[in-house]
Amino acid sequence: MKVRTRFAPSPTGYMHIGNLRTALYAYLFAKHEGGDFILRIEDTDRARYVADAVEFIEKTLAAAKIIPDEGPHHGGNFGPYVQSERMDIYKKYAEQLVEMGHAYREETENGVAIRQKMPKTGETTFFDVLHGNITIANAELEDQVLLKSDGMPTYNFANVIDDHLMEITHIIRGAEFITSTPKHVLLYEFFGWELPTFIHLAPVMGKAEDGTVSKLSKRHGATSFNDLVEMGYLPEVITNYVALLGWNPKTNQEIFSMQELIDAFSLDGLSKSPAVFDYNKLDWMSGEYFKAMTDEEFAAVADKFFGELNANLAQKKIYLASLLKSRVTKLSEIPAMIKFLMEMPPFDAELFVNKRNKVTVANSIEIISPAIKILEGVDDWTFENLSEKISAYIESSGMKTGTIMWPLRIALSGQKITPGGVVEILYLLGRETALERLTRAVGALQNLSD
RNA sequence: GGCGCUAUCGUCAAGUGGUUAAGACACCGCCCUUUCACGGCGGGUUCGUGGGUUCAAAUCCCGCUAGCGUCACCA
């Protein structure tokens, strides 16, 4: 039988990382098995409906490269794929249950609801791939509502009807559904339907500043796929990282393309215990992706984080990208990293003083001044020429490289840390700006010592 | 509270009766170095707890504890 899995979100306009992971695993499993992945919208709660949420979900899945074979806008022979468009189907089955004596009508002030009649004794057992057999006493089960008084089905009813009708073979969903699964199983039994295979995933947790761990939520920072994209993590990094949060390939490989994930995915690599979302590891992985990119590729994804570049920098984008790509863990760090190129930070004499490199305010002047003379002689402002002149200067000065470079970097950038060394910054700034900054620094230092 | 699920370094985790208990991130130290980064080397009382079973337990069983989930006309 062909494997068919589904992702069945409610249209809330928000794609939580945990939901994304559930969708990913359902997709990976289906694709690994050569099966189908179905997107179904569970919009039976009219109070929670969010406009355009379906499009939002579809866009998010597309960005994550999780591509449904069937869905509201993906075609398929088992539609409609939106539950609010299937009301007559649920009504039919609910009434069938009433006739069979497994459900009953209930009059309320808002109308008529239909409730499932639970056995009072005995227990219900179902098999879960991760957890094995799970048994719950029927006495724990309430007579749950199947059809609400507004005619809409509840989740517990609709998902059973749809999973059966859509021929879903493997139900991959969050562990929060474990205790309601016996109700579903009873429904399958009432109808005489074959049971699908259940796989209940452990939740994704977040760690708060006080060290406590709880289900990933807003207080842990970004919690949705889209938040992370906005922070400058590549969609493929997010899926790669999330795939490994609760699943392991049994090898030491950590960087996976979507195709590699599909090839490697297996249910027995899934963890039963909750996993804590770790930004450190995400950052590391993100950096690995950037380092693996060409300068051009990095420049393309980084482009919108460059902001308004002046004419000089705009033509050096690729070069700038080459310096940045090995130092960035998420693209949103870029503006702060390159700001000094556009605008010199306020003068701070303290920065010139560096014990390790034996640099003081006084010798800074003596180091920078000759450099200005030398650089003024460079007409063809290329990286090679600049590198050659600076090297020659260091050699003739008899001083250590660090001693020369330190004050130059501070004078050029106003900061201790820069993307790239002095020569790189010299080149990026361009002749005019570089000389102007050096000259101005010497002036400021002299004022200080006078 | 009842019921259910879970429990290996700070985090992700391998491990399925006999291992020096992998690997990765993070952290710390050292080296390299033109800062940062990169790279290299090294480091850390890790199997929640108490009982069993066994020649032998991180691995199997039971209790306890803790965390999480669930008890809706939400999904």
- What ipTM was assigned to the predicted interfaces of this complex? 0.93
CA of A176 and C1' of B1: distance in angstroms?
19
Return the active site residues of A.
218
The encoded tokens of residue A45 equal 């709660």
**Structure tokens belonging to residue A167:** 């021929």
Does at least one atom of strand B sit less than 7 Å from the CB of A343? no
Q: Which residue is nearest to nucleotide B69 (CA to C1')?
A: A176
| Phi (first) and psi of residue A172, to 5 degrees | -110, 115
At A210, the pLDDT band (50, 70, 90 cuts) reads low
In chain A, positions 53-72 with C-beta closer than 7 Å to nucleic chain B are: none
Mean pLDDT of A221-228: 85
User: Amino acid letter at A99?
Assistant: E
How much is the mean pLDDT over chain A?
Answer: 92
A269 touches strand B (CB under 7 A): yes
pLDDT of residue A359: 86
Q: Is the CB of A384 under 7 A from strand B?
A: no
The letter for the amino acid at A80 is: P
Give the mean model confidence (pLDDT) for residues A321-328: 91
Between A8 and A385, the more confident residue is A8
Higher-scoring residue by pLDDT: A16, A209:
A16
pLDDT of residue A329: 92
Taking each helix axis as running N to C, give the angle between helix A334-342 and helix A422-429, from 0 to 180 degrees, rounded to the nearest 10.
60
Rounded to whole angstroms, what are the CA distances from A222 to A17, A46, A279?
A: 9, 27, 10
Q: Please give the backbone phi and psi of residue A171, each rounded to the nearest 5 degrees, phi first.
A: -95, 110
Spanning CA of A281 to C1' of B24, the rounded length in angstroms is 9
